[in-house]
Chains A and B, each alone.
Chain A
Amino acid sequence: MIVFENVSKTYDLGVVGLQDFTCHVGKGEFVFLVGPSGSGKSTLIKLILKELEPTEGRILVAGRNLGTLTQRKVPLLRRNIGCVFQDFKLLPNKTVYENVAYALEVVGEPRRMIRRKVPEILSLVGLSEKTNSLPHEISGGEQQRVSVARAFVNHPPLLLADEPTGNIDPETAVGIMQLLVRINRTGTTVVVATHDREMVNRMRRRVLQLDAGRLVRDERRGSYDQPTDELGEEA
């Protein structure tokens, strides 16, 4: 689903975002991306969305080579990638319903299908009661669920989540994570960048650890910290 081959990204002032990064994420996988701030997690996600161009290397997403993808085709790429962000990125003037429907309007879904799919997905994330609320009228956890609903309503093959639980309390965070797991079970590849140690440790999924733009660990059923952590907890 995602292939990175020797990808480096250096920003204008010589700041290193990613260095010689190689990895392969298969279809239907659930992957945690961990590492301290500035280690390159956000760079990675922006590269997958083709918001940034790599300085070196080759990136394939859903069978498309991003290096040869023209700017005009970028919207088509993004329709195949659902996105969830720490700050939710909901349209502030649109209701919960309209925010989710927007992702369908964009791909030209017929009105009839929109009217069917949106309530369906809203009940899946447990927001049937808030259909006509505006984002500022609901809690952070609820906003994040709207954002997950919007990301998944198209049933994209890939879902990216950048710190999805960063702005919400731990209990609500568990709910969000369960939602992502359910989405993963439908066959969607899920990539989650996170700082949430407890969550990663509990879930025991594949972990990619980044440090200063380099991949330092790639572990199946891994935990947040390295097994040889100086605290020795998991060793």
Chain B
Amino acid sequence: MRVGFFLSEALGSLRRNWVMTMAAVITVFISTVILGGVLVLGENLNRGATSLENRVMIEVFIKDETTPQQQQEFQQRVLAMPEVKEVKFVSKDEALRRFQETVGSYVTKNLPTNPLPASFEVFVNDADQVDTVAARFYDDPIVDNTPGTQDGVQYAAKTVRRMLDTIDLVRWGMWAATIVFAVAAVLLISTTVRLSIFARRREVEIMRLVGATNWFIRWPFVIEGFITGLIGAILGALSVYVVNWAVADWLRNSVDYLEAYVYPLWWQGEGWPLGLLPTLAVLGGVLGAVGGMVALRRYLRT
């Protein structure tokens, strides 16, 4: 294989047909931005939803007079339920500490006794099971109900679930959009490459006449497609990263309870095998190469 020759053929033709090259690079760039943007947005929603789901928690306040033994027995009983993921005990002291954290210690420092009840935080596997699980605690003797009510059991019910449903819907929409845009990107690349090859079909004809084998003709086009795809995808992936990072930064500084997720770059470990953005870039290159091969096919039939 004459790597040097093929490479210089490919680079030379990229330079000569620079208008077409620009068009192809921009096409890949836009496709990558859309695809990458959808993926980043989708992942953020995913994480948001997961953390919301984690917050679907039932607070069970217990009477002050319960013995530690009773508490332990309750905890084990709840843990045994198949729907329950985790149970945390919040002691009276802990409850007071948390309360002080939110309102400030000057409010509580003169209290003669600690008025806050101890509680259990029950986390369930699935937000849909909240009602069922909560209902089991209403009449438990350990629960600190105001007589005549069931206020010893607290959970954020309907709003949270409606929000989760919406996020679920958006999430599916995101995946659908991802697939549509991926297909669109492939079609755009192959159309662009086909156009540039159509402009050079005479060249291909002459190459065949001189006795060039199909692969000899193909390599420069494949390399050309790869380089085009790679450049477009790298630019696109970088833009996505920068915007993603900037938005996350802005969110962190302005809305303190919301945190956006930024895909780590590959050297930061974690994430996809190579990190999302290098994967996108390589994908762009491979798609470009495949586009080059596919588009050449009809000019290489004997």
- Residues of chain A whose beta carbon lies under 8 Å from any beta carbon of chain B: 49, 51, 71-72, 74-79, 81, 83, 89-93, 102-103, 105-108, 150
State in angstroms the CA–CA spacing of A108 and B6 once bound together: 12
From A51, A75, A81, A150, give the contact of B212 (CB < 8 A).
A75
Is B211's CB under 8 angstroms from A105's CB? Answer: no
Contacts of B136 in A (CB 8 A): none
- Between B213, B214, B302, the greatest number of chain A beta carbons within 10 A of the residue's beta carbon is seen for B213
Is A102's CB under 8 angstroms from B210's CB? Answer: yes
Chain A interface, DSSP helix/strand/loop, else mixed:
helix
Contacts of B302 in A (CB 8 A): 51, 71, 74
**Beyond A105-B5, A108-B2, is A91–B209 a contact (Cβ under 8 Å)?**
no
Within 8 A of A (CB), among B197-232: 202-203, 205-214, 216
Chain B interface, DSSP helix/strand/loop, else mixed:
helix
Looking at the assembled complex, report how far the CB atom of B17 sits from the nearest CB atom of chain A, in whole angstroms: 9
From B206, B213, B216, give the contact of A89 (CB < 8 A).
B206
- Provide the B1-18 mask, 1 if CB < 8 A to any CB of A, else 0: 010010000001100100
**Beyond A71-B302, A93-B13, A106-B216, is A78–B2 a contact (Cβ under 8 Å)?**
no
Is B211's CB under 8 angstroms from A107's CB? Answer: yes
Q: Given contacts A89-B202, A90-B206, A150-B210, could you give 16 more A-B pairs where the C-beta distance is less than 8 Å? A: A71-B302, A75-B208, A78-B209, A78-B210, A83-B209, A89-B206, A91-B207, A92-B202, A93-B13, A93-B16, A102-B210, A103-B210, A105-B5, A106-B210, A106-B212, A106-B213
Looking at the assembled complex, report how far the CB atom of B15 sits from the nearest CB atom of chain A, in whole angstroms: 10
Contacts of B206 in A (CB 8 A): 89-91
Residues of B in contact (CB 8 Å), total 19
Contacts of A90 in B (CB 8 A): 206
Looking at the assembled complex, report how far the CB atom of A132 sits from the nearest CB atom of chain B, in whole angstroms: 14
Is B207's CB under 8 angstroms from A106's CB? Answer: yes
Across the two chains, which residue of chain A brings its CB closest to B4? Answer: A111
From B2, B5, B16, B211, give the contact of A76 (CB < 8 A).
B211
Is B211's CB under 8 angstroms from A75's CB? Answer: yes
Chain A to chain B: the 7 pairs with minimum beta-carbon distance, closest first: A78-B211, A79-B211, A106-B212, A75-B213, A75-B211, A103-B210, A89-B206
Across the two chains, which residue of chain B brings its CB closest to A49? Answer: B209
- Between B2, B205, B212, B216, the greatest number of chain A beta carbons within 10 A of the residue's beta carbon is seen for B212
State in angstroms the CA–CA spacing of A105 and B4 once bound together: 11
Looking at the assembled complex, report how far the CB atom of A92 sits from the nearest CB atom of chain B, in whole angstroms: 8
Looking at the assembled complex, report how far the CB atom of A60 sits from the nearest CB atom of chain B, in whole angstroms: 18
From A89, A92, A105, give the contact of B209 (CB < 8 A).
A89
Looking at the assembled complex, report how far the CB atom of A138 sits from the nearest CB atom of chain B, in whole angstroms: 17
Looking at the assembled complex, report how far the CB atom of A162 sits from the nearest CB atom of chain B, in whole angstroms: 11
**Beyond A71-B302, A74-B302, A89-B206, is A106–B211 a contact (Cβ under 8 Å)?**
yes
Within 8 A of A (CB), among B272-302: 302
